[in-house]
Structure 1
Amino acid sequence: MKSANTNASFSGWSGSVSDSQQSKIPLKIGIATGLGALLWLGPYLGVNAVLLPAKVEQIAPGNKATIVALLATSAMIIATLANVIIGGLSDLTRSRWGRRTPWIIAGSIGSCVMLVVFNMVSSIPALVGSWCVYQIFLNAIVAPLIAVISDRVAPMHRGTISSIYAFGYVIGQYGGQVVGAQFLTTVGTGIVVMGLLTLLSGPLAAIIMREPPSIGMPKKQFTWRMFVQNFIFPIHDAGDFYLALFGKMLISTATTAIMGYQLYILSDYILLNTGGQQKYVSIISTLLMITAIVMSISSGTISDRIKSRKIPVFVSALMVAVGVFMPAFTNAPWTMIVYGALAGLGMGIFFSVDQALNLEVLPNEQNAAKDLGILNLANTGSQILGPIVAASIVTIAGGSYYWIFPVCAVLSLAGGILVLFIKRVK
């Protein structure tokens, strides 16, 4: 590799950049990945957390919780497979446009098309089928986009670039729900708008980051060893990898369980009418977004300076646990606002340090997209797992939403403790 900025020499290519090769912070990579994350995650959550439950309620109000759980379960299975397979194929891609660009552009186009299809269907089987195909295309953006940080950012800059990525991710995480809430009375229009926003994700990221060609990279012959390395969950030297995966998944699930059922919590537990639901979805999402942005801007750089990833993640888990427990005290609307503020602060810290932690537990950086795609299940998978957890709790509790809050608090604390057991990272 002759240049950290171009990755142009492939004879000694290793899939990473060293500190000595990259003296300046690669801001374009941060902007590209942050903007790309904003434009896939925001529309996804606008649909998944707000418009999907609203569409299901229109079609089958009597079985809405069960159907949302069915959609989430099916999507989780497909997303898991797509992350691994597409990540592995991305690592092996050789083209004039690079390894990641073809996938994120194809994923953007396909995601847009499938959201339009999802909007048009009205039967439960068609909803499930179109939602699952959408997950395949969505994960064609997710795994390759994250791998760009491993490919083209030196370790000493990863906290800073992770913060820039987190800035876009956080706005998408909560801003998507704010936008989605504005379409509660016109659900179909909202879903189409979200599809059009997703369409911009890959092309804009590709234009900004300008990935170099990968045609000259050494090609790998298909062997059993190559298949295991590129398409199977890591086995060797992977203890820290799985602690990070499951720890972060538990923390994220604690918040997404509430976000996925936020509309039903506000209507059936907080007892708000449609106008009140729309008002509080906007207030809570805005609080989550603002507090998370404040923390995401600074936490990655602070993590670099104190040379610790685990402590910030544990602090974030503790803050999330306190926040999600608040509505268990009373069903007064103000408790959801406190939840939004505390959980937002915690998740801001979490998102900012998240990608830096991911990169430091990789068993093999040459398989970055595949392994980061698996680790990203802690984020995208929890978006799907959260509603399943919430639906299970509500079902077991006989329709009561109360127990979602203490259970999610325990999940977040457990996730923070798992991260503390990671040995490779300080």
Structure 2
Amino acid sequence: MSRPAAPEALTEPTERAGRGWTAALSLANGAIWVGWYGPLQILLALQAAELAPPGTAKESVLAWVTGAGAVVSMVANPLFGALSDRTASRFGRRSPWILAGVLGGAGALVLLAGAGTVAGMALGWCLVQLTLNAAFAAITAAVPDRAPHGQRGAVGGWLGAAQILGVVAGTGLATVAGGVVAGYLACAGCTVLGALPYVLLHRDPALPAGRRPALRLRALLAGFRISPRRHPDLAWAWLTRFLINLGNALALLYLLYYLRDVLHRPDPDGGVLVLTAVNAVTLLGTVVLGGFWSDRVGRRQPFVLGAGVIMTVATGLLAGWQTWPGALCAAALLGVGFGVFTSVDFALMTQVLPAAADRGKDLGVINIANALPQVAAPVLAAPIVQHLGGYRVLYGVAAGIGLLGALLVRRIRGVA
């Protein structure tokens, strides 16, 4: 007697995902990045400057708030990924969490807009991270659910393009909305509207109720432990992503203050928007192309290594050429490198996952490599800027960390 076929949700996909599905998922992804990066690029920095108590540096306030949010993000992403793995809704495993996450994120942004103290600001930002990570974990897991290996570079490219457009849109909304409160409200509305087409028009493969794993807390927590000995490729891929993202986070964390205090730009808010736009143009020129090219040649490592080297050069420019033209060149090069890295590294990660049944949880653990740098960057950056040499040393350290991450991709054996 033949064994019953595994549910569609627990098998590797063989049919290519449609353009409509890719477009809707990408739009939802971009909407989440609006909710993150309007605050991160502009609003949190302005709010920290307004709310910092007398005698407390605005850099320290911003570091503590973003660090606390990143800790929440680190926990929330794998947790909600694991919960979505176990969701047996008729709407699929992922869509319910996308909808709940963006609605909760919009509400948290509204709460953050009304914060009048540093504690209230920190609480609001932590809630934003908690809720939007629920949606982001589900979006990330939807790709290996629906796209076969040979299409994941391209899908990752479109998700990456939407990500940077979300960063630009969030930065733009925060800049032109007319104040901190208006900026948060605009980002909240955009976050919800961008996710609706995917939630309303597309259904994820459903997990039959009889196949849902039991939701036991001890088993859930134990599942987050992934042995580097049993899965060395996953461990090296995680470390590569962590170090490259840490270098990038160090480069971007104090960008507004860098323009204001080092380059003495008369309009630092507008300067951040210009640099973000330059970065977006070059990133969009490479993110989809890099994914398609990687799919075509069937290789991932050379693209990740080359992208990391380009990003190292860009960060080095911020250390050695501290002028407005230097910042523009660095922004352009960072876009080129991060575009290729975003799409190809995502495809690489999906190819080292241990099991189809735990895609959400495992990708959530992998996404800690995105969130943990947001915790580590303020811890490293604040003392460097204030006591250990300033922005020149900060960007030199960022360049070295990013280069180390790029070189470690060669340790991965199972993916070329």
TM-score grouping bracket, smaller chain normalisation: over 0.9
- Match of 1:214? 207
- Alpha-carbon separation, structure 1, partners of 2:221 and 2:50: 45
Contact 1:317 1:413 (C-alpha < 8 Å) held by counterparts: yes
Aligned to 2:270: 279
Matches within 5 A, 1:320-331: 320-331=311-322
> Any idea what SS the aligned residue of 2:261 has?
helix
Q: CA distance change for structure 1 residues 172 and 59 in 2, over 3 Å: closer, same or farther?
A: same
What is the 5 A alignment of 1:252-267? 252-267=245-260
Cα distance 1:57–1:149, how it changes in 2: closer, same or farther (>3 A)?
same
Q: CA deviation at 1:404?
A: 1.5
- Quickly say closer, same or farther: Cα 1:272–1:94, change in 2 above 3 A: same
Cα deviation, 1:39-95, whole Å, max 9, x if unaligned, reads 001231111121101111111174211111111221122111111211111101111
What is the root-mean-square deviation of aligned Cα atoms in Å? 2.2
Q: Which residue of the partner structure matches residue 31 of structure 2?
A: 39
- The aligned runs of 1:1-400 (5 Å cut-off) are 11-13=6-8, 15-19=10-14, 22=15, 24-60=16-52, 62-183=56-177, 186-216=179-209, 218-221=211-214, 226-227=219-220, 230-233=223-226, 237-273=230-266, 275=267, 277-397=268-388, 400=390
* Per-residue deviation, 1:355: 1.7
| Alpha-carbon distance in 1 for matches of 2:72, 2:249 | 18
Check whether the contact 1:16–1:152 (CA below 8 A) recurs between aligned residues. Answer: no
Aligned partners of 1:179, 1:410: CA distance in 2, in Å?
A: 33
Check 1:27–1:380 CA distance in 2 against 1; reply closer, same or farther (3 A cut): farther
Q: How much does 1:283 deviate?
A: 1.6
Shift of 1:98: 1.1
Q: Where does residue 6 of structure 1 map in the other structure?
A: none
Output one character per residue of 1:240-290: Cα deviation in whole Å (capped at 9) or x when no partner.
2122122112212222222221110001111222x2x13321221111000
1:403 aligns to what SS in structure 2? helix
Read off the aligned partner of 1:71 and give its amino acid letter.
V
What is the Cα deviation at residue 201 of structure 1?
4.1
Contact kept, 8 Å, 1:43 with 1:176, in 2: the verdict is yes
Higher deviation after alignment, 210-219 or 137-146: 210-219
Shifted more, 232-241 versus 261-270: the winner is 232-241
Give the aligned residue type for 2:148.
A
Aligned mates of 2:345, 2:305 — CA distance in 1: 11
CA distance in 2, matches of 1:229, 1:27: 37
Give the drift of 1:223: 6.2
Letter in 2 for 1:327: L
Report the Cα offset of residue 100 of structure 1.
0.7
Cα distance in 1 for residues equivalent to 2:222 and 2:358: 7
Closer, same or farther: CA 110–353 of 1 in aligned 2, 3 Å: same
Q: 1:310 Cα shift?
A: 1.0
TM-superposed CA distance for 1:385, in Å, is 4.0
Q: CA deviation at 1:148?
A: 0.5
Give secondary structure in 1 for the equivalent of 2:160.
helix
Q: Distance in 2 between matches of 1:161 and 1:309?
A: 14
SS in structure 2 at match of 1:210: coil
How far apart in 2 are the matches of 1:189 and 1:224? Answer: 40
Letter in 2 for 1:82: A
Q: Judging changes above 3 Å, is the alpha-carbon distance between structure 1 residues 279 and 382 closer, same or farther for their aligned structure 2 residues?
A: same
Which stretch of structure 1 is more off in the superposition, 407-416 or 173-182? Answer: 173-182
Partners of 1:81 and 1:192 lie apart in 2 by 26
Q: Contact conserved, 1:108 with 1:201, CA < 8 A, in 2?
A: no
Distance 1:313 1:53, change over 3 A: same
Q: Distance in 1 between the 2:175 and 2:305 partners?
A: 31
Cα deviation 1:327-369 (Å, max 9, x = unaligned): 2223221111011011110001111212211101112221100
> What TM-score does the superposition give when structure 1 sets the normalisation length?
0.90
Please give the secondary structure, in 2, of the residue aligned with 1:17.
Answer: coil
Question: Is 60-69 or 106-115 further displaced after alignment?
Answer: 60-69
Q: Does 1:409 align with 2:392?
A: no
Secondary structure of the residue aligned to 2:392 is coil
User: Cα distance, 1:29 vs. partner?
Assistant: 3.0
Cα distance in 2 for partners of 1:388, 1:240 equals 28
